[in-house]
Structure 1
Amino acid sequence: MPDGVADEAGDLARERVVEAALARLGLDDKARLLAGQDRWTLPALPGIGLASLVMSDGPVGVRGVRWTADDPSAALPSPTALAATWDPELAHRAGVLLAQEARRKGVHVLLAPTVNLHRSPLGGRHFEAYSEDPYLTGRIGTGYVAGVQSGGVGTTVKHFVANDAETERFTVDNLVSERALRELYLAPFEAIVAGARPWGVMTAYNSVNGSTMTEHGPLVNGVLRGEWGFDGINVSDWSAARDTVRAVRGGLDIAMPGPDTVYGEALARAVREGRVEEATVDSAVRNVLRLAARLGILEGAAPVVAAPPADVDGRALAREIARRSFVLVRNEPAGSTEGTKGTRGTGTTGTAGSGPALPLRPGTTVALLGAAARDARVLGGGSATVFPDRIVSPLDGLTAALPEGSVTYAVGADPNEELSIADRGFTLRAVCRDAAGTVLGSTVVPNGDVKWTDVDLPEGVTHANLRGVELTGTFLARESGTHTFGIKGLGAFTLTVGGTTYFDGVQRPAKEDPFAAFFGAPEPHARVELEAGERVEVSLAHTVETSEGTTATSVLFALAHQEPRRDPEELIAEAAAAAREADTAVVVVATTDRVESEGFDRADLRLPGRQDDLVRAVAAANPNTVVVVNSGSPVELPWRNEVAAVLLSWFPGQEGGAALAEVLTGAAEPGGRLPTTWGALADAPVTEVVPVDGQLAYSEGVFIGYRAWEKAGRTPAYPFGHGLGYTTWSYESVEAVEPAEGERGTEGRTVRVRLRNTGERAGHEIVQVYVSPAGPDAAAGPERPLRWLAGFAGVEAVPGETAETVVTLPGRAFEVWDETAGAWARVKGSYEIAAGRSIADRRVATAITV
């Protein structure tokens, strides 16, 4: 039975409590319970012993209802990193930690995980989803959900469904065939419902085939609840619910955020006017009460989890996930110009032919280069953002790991071409005032980002009396030159630096966007000459706007800053000079929150700024160049065959720099494999993310990711599943275990794979099993991919040791969705079962007949 799931007797007991509570509720309380009372909570109903239910964003940490840096959260690596571990048990452990964090912050439901697919590499929010493959996504998501719920905290698997891009995400109508929906986009949700019994889902902003998802009865009531038996809550994405009657009839239980939603008074009125049956409202209320009973916040109901799991060391787990997620996609001797397959093994570095570049040999000197090496980007932008209590940068990690004097640093190239939230060097306090200018309260803020809802306000401050917020304090410059200060947000502001007022006016959005204050870029307003070590006073005053008779429900703005912009050629020359003096050059390149974030898609896959030029200049100066790619999803690496090694670190979480030092020095092996194909945008088969007349056609059908690359006959830079370690493996055999006599279908069919560690050190290998139609019947029936992932398992072995693993192949691996019959259909015939290291590196194979 999945973690976090009670036994049948416990379920029945909770259902009795739920029904009794429901019978005591009047219509107005029922309708009010389905509408948020504020941004994150549902109202308490003391009359039935129901406490207020609290939700919070995830998925890499638990923000809590106070989204401020003075309430820190553990920050794990990005979901793409978690998927790159190919380890559902590790995902489960991540979930346990997040449940621990949620309970510490008084959160009952985590708004995660995101299990949408990487349909196109241009998706701007892909760092928050796992993979291009539905099977891998489902396995990792199942582990994550089971882990969170084992701690007595609910999840909302999102975004149901086909929310695979950000362009026009509030209004786009995605046109998806029934077969593609079933085989790709619904598949992870189905797997998680079956394997982990989630307590919630979140329906998306977008429409699917003409109906917005918050009103999509056929997919919610028909498939999710009807076919799959889902019995949890269905909560809208924030502000996604549009119509009272259509939403409740379409299966939406909770409309967030509150208090102004399509539910509440509007829903009670619709029932009284005969437009909605009260029984329909009862169904939604029953789902909410069932969740409350599972959580233990409904009087008389025993929670599913009476005692949470033992405490988890968040820093240690974040570090472990990071190093297990790093994908070494290239590792050649210094100066090698060989292709991308890579060399696996150990040995010293430094001269061509002396062994692969990684791990670093003892006593090596390192030139660490790149802005992201010093100011690490550890997580993606948007609602996934949390504030950890510390961040270990690559510079911090390597400096601590290597002997004193071994590491030199140069910026080389800065990808941040815009202002960032005021952080390093700033000491700030937020002062709140009423309409008369009287101080109501104040609080220390760790950075310049203010995101306040009801519970975030300082003591003594309410939205009713708040009319102004001033960020005031000092800035200590770490570099000499022209520093730029600016503002992120909408409304009236006054910006003062060093006693001079540089802006006193109103900022408005360039285009209509309900989240412009949240995701928009900061606007520069002040350019100030400062010397390194100089301290200057700063102030950003914001007038909180209200309409007559209304009260603001949130305060969203930020003080922004950019360090002096030096001549790019000079910076690159400095980096190249540092590289020449070191045994190894390590260049950290990165995307920014203006490239990968919630709220917009990507225009291209290029690294921002002059980072490509930096890598080429460094590689020319030192043939032993290692590049660390700090991005949440694929970027183009046009220099990849010009450097000795390429290591993908994703967004590695708060302990990323420490994990990176372990991997670079060889204290740990890079454990990751690609969960998504990496290649040039010009070669990518599926690139369309921009709707035409409000519609986006998924015309590629079931061919996305590696399925599409293989169909098109194109070779990516690095294929799905690829990843190197620090030892070598020989795959010796794969054997299909035939089902027992009389056993129906293919459920439970297994394959046994044997392999040997042929290298010089212990290692971890991820055995991947792919299914491919074979024989004369391969082309018969519906068009299918050339092959697809059907199973995987991790093994470990010391040098010379043989490891054996048994992989179960799901029956669904041999089925397609028959659109005519409206059902799954087994495709009989011969299949090749291949095991290996990636979709393109299959080592051993056997055949079965279905």
Structure 2
Amino acid sequence: MHDDHDLVKLVGKLDLRAKVRLLSGGSVWRTAAEPSIGLRALTFSDGPAGVRGPGWDERRTSLALPSPTALGATWDEDLVRRLGALLADESRRKGVDVLLAPVLNLHRTPYGGRHFECFAEDPLLTARLGVAYVSGVQSGGVAAAPKHFVANETETDRLTHDVQVDDRTLRELYLAPFEAVVEAGAWAVMSAYNGVNGHPMSENPLLTDVLKDEWGFDGLVVSDWGAVRTTVASAASGQDLSMPGPWGPWGDLLVAAVEAGEVAESAIDDKVFRLLRLAARVGALEGQGDIEGGSAPEDVAGGEEFAPAEGLLPEAASGLALLREAVSASTVLLRNNGILPLHPGRTIALIGAGAATPRVQGGGSSGLYPAAENSLLDALRTRAEVVHAPGVRIDDQPTPVRAPVQVRVLGANDEELFREHRLTGRILETEEVPGAEVLEISTTLHVTETGPWRLAVAGYGRLTLDVDGTRVLDEVQPVDTDDPAVKHLRPPHHAVEVQLTEGTAELVARRELGEDSGMASLLAADPPRPDAEQEFGAAVEAASRSDVAIVVVSTTDAIEGEGRDRSTLALPGEQDALVTAVCLANPNAIVVVNSGGPVLLPWREDTAAVLLTWFPGQEGGNGLADVLFGTGEPGGRLPTTWPARETDVPVANFLPEDQKLGYGEGLDIGYRAWAAHDVEPAYWFGHGLGYTTWDYLDAKAERGVVRVRLRNTGRRRGREVVQVYLSREESAVRRPLRWLGGFARVEAEPGETVETTVEISAQATRHWAGEWVTESGGFTVHIGPDAGTTRIRLAARHVLRPR
């Protein structure tokens, strides 16, 4: 085992060039190794809803967890901790040392395109779940890297915009979750692309002044991929590791800067020391044993995945059972007229494309290849008589061709440099070989229907498509972005309509591989589309002939995905019209909302029930079926306030202007902003119904805690999340009208009375005034099931300073 003294000696064995080499990636997903001191490369993987492992290859599958918004909806630290431990198992199976997760940015507005990766709009809920996630991951000897430090709530111009935010707002909202995970012992933190108050985060004083000096963070600061853009300013800051590599603004340029006296070598030494400390913690440093409760992951020769250890297979029953449990725990029952849970024997019309092909995960760098997926259609067919009708088309994105797919990398004069077979026509990475000029994707398409097929090719450079030897598409797509999420994950596509005859057709797509254009390519094919009016009518007819109609409405990658924000909260396509028509055709209409964040539900009062399932991961179908038939409790509570109308959204300033983004609303985001504007949302933060009812009987506040008694007044065992909000009418500083002070989960049998203790966070009773200050006197205590409902109010005489 290496202590800090040993690590200092190891740093001293390296010359300047060797030290600097360690501070940039050795490749896209790995650090550089240094055999002379027993240091192997560290392997990173994207999170947070699973462990993809290094690279993108659909042949390497992963467990797909519910999205972080779903985990936020659980309000359940124990469950999130257990899921974190499962992610550690997955990381070790894939040879991953550092999981780039959790995301601790807040839902500042509902328009954030990447909010499905974030827990909540509230800093306390985010902090508590973030600590649970980190502790779960690190309990397995794998480092968590909470991200994106800090104020990275907007995707538009995310590489360059500068957030303007006052110190109090920054401290009490946006830094608070990071402070909590640092106090809990996070081994790494990822710095963000954006700037804050004039400094890009990869060179921001917050990295040193607050994160390292004030909070005492002893881990490694890793950059977001490509976020380090300067040499001296970033190296002189608290930024420790620049990823990816070995290219970039450090390397030889940083060696020269140190030799010129522009960067102190002591700063380089500290960065290398922190890298070695992280390596020791995850077992990447020779001669190191158990570190802080973890155990060293298996080494990965040549960067290849090692054989899974017994019990860590992605199909393991315990892992799948936990994912299924998480679906029930995160599903939010927004409305129920008593139809749920369903009784056996009813015929069901299951409507919506998402019922058969649900969105189990969000779009962007968090994407992975699920080990298996089950849809609601599959799950319900084992329990009831079901007829399925898509109803409407909501996504115009092309569908990648499926196996068998051949991929070739070609050089000059079409020389074949590499060949492999893949499972899909969406190729994000393949073998990189010297002299590569063209990527070719080919397949034999089984034409199941005669008519106009829509064929598409995506990528940058010249794009061509041949069908049975005839050129049908020839376009040039210039590189028009620096955003890695676009360039490397979803490049633009070009489509053509081709008349095909039932049988087979040979498709060959090619794209040029230009400098800095990425590898991402696509060959896609979609059959002739059915008549939209007939499809809509068939769905409504199916609803009218069934006992129950379940409509699944969904968002798309084009609406919720990395690298873009949302322009509207409305559901895409004609889904609202479809729900309205189904509700008129069948009074027992249940709507399932398959989205990562808030959407408008203009028909919500016309339905028999509304369920929110988020992006539920690979066990989404089974978990939701459990909830529908009552074998599982809809345990979720909203982690974000849902608006009734778009014009009601209180924080509408979410787009940068001239590369500046002002957080002028201060502390009033989420439910705080709704309360300040005195506007009633569709559903408050914290809202969620179960299959039972509760009476809040009484409560008392003591120093640091609130004790609440409540009774289960329904006919089933149930779960309630007791939420305590604070307010202070007379204060030396401006405060929100109310804010979350603590929460606790409680379960009880029918008729049972239980008492729960809600601990009040120290963070909830203090404010920032250049230092943390707690005013003397008391706070008013509001106890209830959501941010807009008070069942018990305790007067302000109660002092709630932590014990």
Give the TM-score band, short-chain normalised.
over 0.9
Equivalence for 2:194: 206
Give the whole-Å Cα distance in 1 for the aligned partners of 2:492 and 2:479: 11
Equivalence for 1:809: 760
Q: How many residues align?
A: 779
Give 1:529 deviation, angstroms. 3.7
Give the whole-Å Cα distance in 1 for the aligned partners of 2:527 and 2:650: 39
Give the whole-Å Cα distance in 1 for the aligned partners of 2:791 and 2:214: 39
Task: State the SS of the aligned residue for 1:279.
Answer: helix
Equivalence for 2:513: 544
Give the whole-Å Cα distance in 2 for the aligned partners of 1:110 and 1:149: 10
Give 1:567 deviation, angstroms. 3.4
Asked whether the 8 Å contact 1:509–1:516 carries over to 2, the reply is no
Task: State the SS of the aligned residue for 1:587.
Answer: strand
Equivalence for 1:136: 125
Equivalence for 1:215: 203
Equivalence for 2:666: 701
Equivalence for 1:411: 390
Overall identity of the aligned pairs, in %:
47
Provide Cα deviations, 1:507-564, integer angstroms capped at 9, x if missing partner: 2245665554335464232213457x74433222233235xxxxx7952212234443
Equivalence for 1:344: none
Asked whether the 8 Å contact 1:234–1:251 carries over to 2, the reply is yes
Task: State the SS of the aligned residue for 1:800.
Answer: coil
Provide Cα deviations, 1:308-350, integer angstroms capped at 9, x if missing partner: 8975733222211111101010111xxxxxxxxxxxxxxxxxx
Give 1:765 deviation, angstroms. 1.4
Equivalence for 1:299: 286
Kindly indicate whether residue 789 of structure 2 is the aligned counterpart of residue 789 of structure 1.
no
Give the residue type in structure 2 aligned to 1:268: V
Equivalence for 2:542: 578
Equivalence for 1:560: 524
Equivalence for 2:302: none
Matches within 5 A, 1:628-647: 628-647=592-611
Give the whole-Å Cα distance in 1 for the aligned partners of 2:527 and 2:548: 28
Q: 1:221 to 1:394 in 2, by over 3 A?
A: same
Equivalence for 1:683: 648
Q: 1:394 to 1:811 in 2, by over 3 A?
A: same
Equivalence for 1:271: 258
Give the whole-Å Cα distance in 2 for the aligned partners of 1:363 and 1:627: 20
Give the whole-Å Cα distance in 2 for the aligned partners of 1:602 and 1:297: 41
Provide Cα deviations, 1:400-434, integer angstroms capped at 9, x if missing partner: 232xxx100001012102324x05x5531223333
Query: Pick from 699, 703, 709: which aligns with 1:754?
Result: 709
Give 1:786 deviation, angstroms. 1.4
Equivalence for 1:383: 365
Matches within 5 A, 1:577-656: 577-656=541-620
Displaced runs of 4+ in structure 1, greater than 6 A? 307-310
Equivalence for 2:24: 35
Give 1:204 deviation, angstroms. 0.6
Provide Cα deviations, 1:575-599, integer angstroms capped at 9, x if missing partner: 1000000011100000000000000
Give 1:15 deviation, angstroms. 1.2
Kindly indicate whether residue 796 of structure 2 is the aligned counterpart of residue 823 of structure 1.
no
Matches within 5 A, 1:314-329: 314-329=319-334
Provide Cα deviations, 1:96-137, integer angstroms capped at 9, x if missing partner: 111111111111101111110000111100001110000000
Give the residue type in structure 1 aligned to 2:771: A
Query: Pick from 692, 696, 717: which aligns with 1:727?
Result: 692
Equivalence for 2:6: 17
Q: 1:717 to 1:478 in 2, by over 3 A?
A: farther
Kindly indicate whether residue 52 of structure 2 is the aligned counterpart of residue 52 of structure 1.
no
Kindly indicate whether residue 463 of structure 2 is the aligned counterpart of residue 493 of structure 1.
yes
Kindly indicate whether residue 757 of structure 2 is the aligned counterpart of residue 833 of structure 1.
no
Give the whole-Å Cα distance in 2 for the aligned partners of 1:262 and 1:756: 62
Equivalence for 1:849: 799
Give the whole-Å Cα distance in 2 for the aligned partners of 1:303 and 1:502: 60
Give the whole-Å Cα distance in 2 for the aligned partners of 1:676 and 1:481: 45
Give 1:719 deviation, angstroms. 0.3
Task: State the SS of the aligned residue for 2:695.
Answer: strand
Give 1:613 deviation, angstroms. 0.8
Give 1:814 deviation, angstroms. 1.1
Q: 1:266 to 1:568 in 2, by over 3 A?
A: same
Give 1:298 deviation, angstroms. 1.1
Give the residue type in structure 2 aligned to 1:444: H
Give the residue type in structure 2 aligned to 1:756: R
Q: Which moved more, 1:136-145 or 1:464-473?
A: 464-473
Kindly indicate whether residue 377 of structure 2 is the aligned counterpart of residue 372 of structure 1.
no
Give the residue type in structure 2 aligned to 1:826: T
Asked whether the 8 Å contact 1:483–1:564 carries over to 2, the reply is yes
Asked whether the 8 Å contact 1:124–1:600 carries over to 2, the reply is yes
Give 1:300 deviation, angstroms. 2.7
Give the whole-Å Cα distance in 1 for the aligned partners of 2:497 and 2:25: 43
Give the whole-Å Cα distance in 1 for the aligned partners of 2:487 and 2:386: 40
Q: 1:210 to 1:569 in 2, by over 3 A?
A: same
Asked whether the 8 Å contact 2:460–2:512 carries over to 1, the reply is no
Give the whole-Å Cα distance in 1 for the aligned partners of 2:585 and 2:240: 61
Equivalence for 1:121: 110
Asked whether the 8 Å contact 1:426–1:476 carries over to 2, the reply is no
Give the residue type in structure 2 aligned to 1:293: A
Kindly indicate whether residue 515 of structure 2 is the aligned counterpart of residue 528 of structure 1.
no
Give the whole-Å Cα distance in 2 for the aligned partners of 1:629 and 1:534: 38
Asked whether the 8 Å contact 1:180–1:702 carries over to 2, the reply is yes
Asked whether the 8 Å contact 1:727–1:760 carries over to 2, the reply is yes
Task: State the SS of the aligned residue for 1:297.
Answer: coil
Task: State the SS of the aligned residue for 2:610.
Answer: strand
Provide Cα deviations, 1:286-315, integer angstroms capped at 9, x if missing partner: 110110111111123324213789757332
Asked whether the 8 Å contact 2:389–2:539 carries over to 1, the reply is yes
Give the residue type in structure 1 aligned to 2:442: T
Query: Pick from 414, 419, 426: which aligns with 1:449?
Result: 426
Equivalence for 1:393: 375
Give the whole-Å Cα distance in 2 for the aligned partners of 1:120 and 1:519: 25
Give the whole-Å Cα distance in 2 for the aligned partners of 1:62 and 1:367: 36
Equivalence for 1:474: 444
**Normalised by the size of structure 1, how large is the TM-score?**
0.89
Asked whether the 8 Å contact 1:157–1:202 carries over to 2, the reply is yes
**Normalised by the size of structure 2, how large is the TM-score?**
0.94
Give 1:370 deviation, angstroms. 0.6
Give the residue type in structure 1 aligned to 2:3: R
Q: 1:465 to 1:725 in 2, by over 3 A?
A: same
Task: State the SS of the aligned residue for 1:268.
Answer: helix
Instruction: List gaps (5 residues or longer) in structure 1.
Output: 1-9, 333-355, 547-551, 739-748
Instruction: List gaps (5 residues or longer) in structure 2.
Output: 298-308
Give the whole-Å Cα distance in 1 for the aligned partners of 2:22 and 2:473: 44
Task: State the SS of the aligned residue for 1:731.
Answer: strand
Give the residue type in structure 1 aligned to 2:477: Q
Give the residue type in structure 1 aligned to 2:777: G
Kindly indicate whether residue 622 of structure 2 is the aligned counterpart of residue 658 of structure 1.
yes
Give 1:243 deviation, angstroms. 1.0
Equivalence for 1:172: 161
Q: 1:365 to 1:499 in 2, by over 3 A?
A: farther
Asked whether the 8 Å contact 1:522–1:560 carries over to 2, the reply is no
Give the whole-Å Cα distance in 1 for the aligned partners of 2:136 and 2:672: 30
Provide Cα deviations, 1:163-211, integer angstroms capped at 9, x if missing partner: 001111111011001010001000100111112x111111111111111
How big is the alpha-carbon RMSD for the aligned residues of Structure 1 and Structure 2? 1.9
Asked whether the 8 Å contact 1:35–1:257 carries over to 2, the reply is yes
Asked whether the 8 Å contact 1:14–1:294 carries over to 2, the reply is no
Task: State the SS of the aligned residue for 1:407.
Answer: strand
